[in-house]
Chain A
Amino acid sequence: MKGNVYTLFYAATLGIVCALILTFAASFTAPYKKANAEAEEVKNILLALNIAVPDETSSEELLEIYKKNVKEEERGSIPVYVTIPSSENEGAVAMRFAGPGLWGPIKGFMALNPEMTEIRGITFYEQEETPGLGGEIVKESFRGKFNGLSVHDEEGNVGIIIKSGSDKAKNRIDGISGATMTCDKVQQMLNKALQNMIGEPQ
């Protein structure tokens, strides 16, 4: 009986000590982690907007570049990130998009040209797609295809198509072989974001 009391006491003490140490560590690192997460988001917005960011950039520098080049606005009720026009870039409007992927949520930013007729760039900052198949959506080789993609089909309806084939539609890009499900879902979430943003045919 005495043994049991001691065991419980020991377990409780060890648990509390470990928990205290970890709580301290977590609260100590919290501001740094928050800054990192912000920098990560800013970096993705800049990437979508096609604003050049040097390779080795600290989070402070990133925020500086961001503040210099991007202003936050609201269109309708959707927050958008607009490039401040300068000699180096032609301006773009980025928005957040999100939706279910094959295994987990997919989130990212999509940038359009100021006239809202073409996609300028796209990034994914959260995804859990199958590595090597759906996971390839984060690669430049896939994301690059969106550059200059029209967001209207020939009849002027809003929407893009991600599907492999020989169809020459101006709003279509090739999908990834072996990742049809992921491509379909990305197409859905992008179209939903485009619908919200641009609405019905012009």
Chain B
Amino acid sequence: MADNKQMTCATCKPKGLCGGKGLVTLKDGAWANNPLAIQVLGICSALAVTNRLENSLVMGAALIFVTIGSNLFVSILRKVTPHRIRMIAEVAIIATFVILFDQFLKAFYWEMSKQLGPYVGLIITNCIVMGRAEAFALQNPPILSMVDGAANGFGYAVVLAIIGFFRELFGTGEIMGHKIPLFTDMYTPNQLMILAPGAFFTLGIVIAIFNIVKGPDKEEKK
């Protein structure tokens, strides 16, 4: 956690002003500082629930909902929150949003809720959510914080979807439960991809590709 905080803080310095800021924030969260692929945060859930594309998408949606909601409210309350208890306040807000989503799943998407098991509830402890609240929402106005939350949630969701897509395809020969002809006829689904090691391999490859495409960090070059 300590390391993570340092890493996120490098991005939280407000650069520039005016309208361009929203776009910079968006790009930063979703690409240049992608929480999963670049900062390598929140990988516990990314490894656990990505054995199927559908699970990954729901988990991504959950995180987008939580980061937007918690960033918004942490930001609205940032001037009245006593500094000493700000973290507890953040956790309370985050937990409220997470449980709301969990209840929603349990009520209307029972099967999905069973599949995701405890991992929806564990979003409370996801470094990405807390990290964005601490690093961004505390210093920035509500709307911009919402954009940041959406961008980071989106960045997480996209990487999750990529991992889920490949794990389901190579692990079961299906996509969203539909058989893909090429992968069921000529290829024997590799169970390893559905099990935990498959998640590690896929995540590693995704991180590597992200970093190759993005190129070396400008700050590191100096």
Contacts and interface: CB of A to CB of B under 8 A. Distances in A.
A107 to B, nearest CB: 15
Interface string B100-120: 100110111010000000000
B207 interface: no
Given A14-B92, A15-B92, A22-B96, A29 B82 contact: no
A10 B80 contact: yes
A29 B104 contact: yes
A165 interface: no
A11 B88 contact: yes
Contacts of B84: 7
Interface string A1-43: 0010011001100110010011001100100110010011000
B98 to A, nearest CB: 10
B18 interface: no
Contact of A6 (B82, B95, B100): B82
Interface string B56-90: 00000000000000000000010011101100110
B99 interface: yes
B107 A36 contact: yes
A7 B110 contact: no
B38 interface: no
B93 interface: yes
B18 to A, nearest CB: 33
A22 B106 contact: no
A33 B106 contact: yes
Interface residues of B, number: 21
A29 B100 CA distance: 10
Nearest to B195: A132
Chain A residues touching B, majority SS: helix
Interface residues of A, number: 19
B103 A25 contact: yes
Contacts of B77: 14
Nearest to A22: B99
A11 B103 contact: no
Interface in B96-149: 96, 99-100, 103-104, 106-108, 110
Given A10-B82, A14-B92, A21 B100 contact: yes
Interface of B: 77, 80-82, 84-85, 88-89, 92-93, 95-96, 99-100, 103-104, 106-108, 110, 195
24 contacts: A3-B82, A6-B82, A7-B82, A10-B80, A10-B81, A11-B88, A11-B89, A14-B93, A15-B92, A18-B92, A18-B95, A21-B96, A21-B100, A25-B99, A25-B103, A29-B103, A29-B104, A29-B106, A29-B107, A32-B108, A36-B106, A36-B107, A36-B110, A40-B110
Interface of A: 3, 6-7, 10-11, 14-15, 18, 21-22, 25-26, 29, 32-33, 36, 39-40, 132
